[in-house]
Amino acid sequence: MLFGVFNYLNKNSPLTHRNAHVVSSNLNMGSLMATANRSFYRPIMQKILTLTVFLGFLFVISCSKQSDTSITPSGTTSTTTTTGTSTYNDLWIPPTLTGTTFNLTLAKSTKQLRTGTATNTYSYNNTSFWGPTLIMNKGDLVKLNVTNNLAEATTTHWHGFHIPAVMDGGPHQMIDAGTTWSPSFEVKNNAGTYWYHPHLHEKTKEQLTYGAGGLIIIKDPIESALALPRTYGEDDIPLILTSRNYTSTNAFDLSNRAYGDYQLTNGTSSAQVSLPKQFVRLRILNAEIERGYNLGFSDNRTFYIITNDGGLLDTPVPVTRVKMMVGERVEILVNLGNDAVGSSLDLMAYNAGQAFGFPGGEPNTSGDFGSLLNNKDFAVLHVNVKATTQTGITALPAKLTTNTYWTNADVTNSRTITITGGQGATAFSFDNNLYGETKINHTIKLNAIEKWTITNNNIFGHSFHIHDIQFKIISRSSGAVGTHESGWKDTVFVPVGESVSVIAKFDDFASSTNAFMYHCHFSNHEDGGMMGQFLVVQ
C-alpha cells in the first residue's frame, strides 16, 4: 500500500480507493491556500494537502467499515468487508434447481479464491465451485441428466439416497467424457439435507478437491407442517465446509496432504453472512477430504440439532458442540432473537485439544498430515445480526416427528467389519481386502434387518458410509451413543480403538449383479482401496 501511495505522490498512479474523498470535506486547507503567496507556497501546500488526504485515507480504512464489490467468475456479486482488523467475504449461496427434471453439467471453471491468479476449479452448471442445490419432494419420480464436459470420466453419487444400485452413481456408473448419464428414480428419503459428489475410484479426491459436488434438499409433508425456518438463503442457510491447499500460482495442491491450510465455506474464504434476529436454520455438510469439525458458537450459546443424515430427530436436541466427520450432515436451529441488530458472532471449529485420532487434531503443520489449521480453534462463518423478517420463526418446536427404529430384537443377521491396514506403506482396508471392481464382499437377502459392527483397532479414526440405506446407531463400545447422532444415519465416525454397531433394513431394491458400496468417506482412503461391495438379492 505504501508503494502505491508513493506512486501517487509522484503522480505515477492515481489514488483510486472510493473512500478517499471523504477526507477532503473535513479539511480546512482552502483558507490557508487563499492567504498564502501563490508563487512560493502553492507547491508546498499541494504536497501538504496530498499528504493530509493520504493520512485521512489511512485513518478511514483503519477505523471504519467499508465494502468493495466485485464480480466473481460465476457472475454473482461478492462483497469484501473489513471490520476492525478482520476482513470477511460474503458467503456464496448456491442457486437452486427445482422440479422433477434436473440438468447438471460438470465442467472446468475458475474462481477467485485468493489474491492474484484465479484458481482452476470444477463446477456443475458454471457455478465456479460446487454446484446448485437440488430441491426435491419425497414421493416424486425424478430424472437427472448429468453431462460430463471434463476431459476425463467421472460419476455422480446421490449420497444418502435409497435408490437402485444402477442409479446410485458409485464407481460402476461411470460417465465418460462428453457423455450424459440420465438416472431416474422415486425419491423415497425423508426430508433432510443430502448431497451429490463424484465417486470414480482413484479420482474421487482430485475431483472433490476441484469443487465437484453440491447439496440436495428433500421436502416432505411432515417437515413442511412444522414451524421451521425455510426461506432458502435468508433464514435457511446451506453451509458446505471444507479446506484447501494452494501452490505458489494459486492452483489447488493435489499432493497427498490430507488437510487444507485455508478454510472455505461454500467455497468462500473468511465467510460472513447477515442473518435475521430470530431462529435461523443452518444446513451443514462436512465435505472435507479428511478433516473433522467440532462446531460451536463463539459465545458458547446453546443451539438445537433437528436432523441427522437421514432426516428429522424426534425432538430438537440442545447442544453447545457437535462433532461432524466427512460426509455427515446436520441441520441446526440457532436463536438470534436476543441478539442486538448490528451485533455479530462466529460459528467456530473448536478443534484444539481433541482426542488422539481426531482428523485434523494432529500437531503437525507440514507434511502429509500437516496443516496450519491443525489442532486449532478457527472460525468457519462470521454472522452479522440484522432485523427480524416479517415471517420470522421466534419459537422452537417441542416435537418434530416420531421415528420408529429397528432394534436388536428385529435383527435377522449380524456381521462384523474390521478396519485393517494403514501401517507403513500398507493401504487402509476392510477385513484385509482392498476394493476390487468385481469383488463382492457381502451378500444380503432382500428385506433383511442386519446389525453391522464396525471395529477399529487401527491407528486412526475413520468415517464409515454405507450406500443404499439409512441406519440407526445402537451402540458404541466407548459409551453411550451421542444425542447428536441419535437419528437416521448413513455415515458414522469410528474412532481409534472403538466398535460401533448399527442396524438397517435392506429393502426395496435387489439385484444379483449390481452392487452397492460401503467405504471410508475420507476420499484419500477411499481412493486407496478402503471400500467394499455388497449385493442385495432375492
Q: What is the DSSP string of 299-321?
A: T---EEEEEETTEEEEEEEEES-
Whether residue 492 is predicted with pLDDT greater than 80 in this model: the reply is: yes
Confidence at residue 82, expressed as pLDDT on a 0 to 100 scale:
67
Asked if residue 188 has pLDDT above 60, the reply is yes
Residue 3 is placed in which grid cell?
508503494
pLDDT tens digits for range 397-414? 999 999 999 999 999 999
CB-CB contact of 279 with 389 (8 Å): no
Q: Identify the architecture of domain 95-225 in CATH.
A: Sandwich (2.60)
CB 364 within 8 A of CB 225: no
pLDDT higher than threshold 70 for residue 4: no
Question: Minimal CA–CA distance to 467: which of 521, 518, 520?
Answer: 518
- Check whether 29 has a pLDDT greater than 80: no
Task: Report pLDDT for 425.
Answer: 77
pLDDT of residue 83: 64
The pLDDT-based confidence of 415 (bands split at 50, 70, 90) is very high
Delimit the CATH 2.60.40.420 region(s) of the chain: 70-92+229-400, 95-225, 408-537
The reported pLDDT for the residue numbered 428 is: 96
Per-chain mean pLDDT for the chain: 88
Whole-angstrom distance, CA of residue 361 vs CA of residue 478:
19
Q: pLDDT tens for residues 42-88?
A: 333 444 444 443 444 333 333 333 333 332 333 334 566 766 667 99
Residue with more model confidence, 123 or 73: 123
Higher pLDDT, 39 or 447: 447
- What pLDDT score does 11 carry? 34
pLDDT digits 0-9 by tens, 246-271: 999 999 999 999 999 999 999 999 99
Residues 458, 422: contact at Cβ < 8 Å?
yes
pLDDT at 364: 87
User: Among 68-72, 285-289, 358-362, 468-472, which stretch is predicted with the lowest mean pLDDT?
Assistant: 68-72
Whether 394 shows a pLDDT value over 90: the answer reads: yes
Instruction: Taking residues 174-183, report their average pLDDT.
Output: 99
Q: How far is CA 2 from CA 8, 114, 296, 417, 454, in A?
A: 10, 21, 39, 62, 59
Most confident of 420-424, 437-441, 481-485: 437-441
So what CATH class is 408-537? mainly beta
pLDDT bucket at 155, cuts 50 / 70 / 90: very high
Counting runs of H as helices and runs of E as strands, what totals does the chain give?
6, 35
Read off the pTM. 0.85
* Fold type of domain 70-92+229-400: Immunoglobulin-like (2.60.40)
How confident is the model at residue 456, as a pLDDT? Answer: 97
Percent of the chain residues past pLDDT 70, beyond the cut: 84
Residue with the bigger pLDDT between 200 and 58: it is: 200
Angle in degrees, 0-180, between the axes of helices 2-9 and 38-63, rounded to the nearest 10: 160
The band of 484, judged by pLDDT with boundaries at 50, 70 and 90, is: confident
Residue 157 phi/psi, 5-degree rounding, is -95, 135
| Element holding 144 (H helix, E strand) | strand 141-148
Percentage above 90 pLDDT, the chain: 80
271-286 residue pLDDT tens: 999 999 999 999 999 9
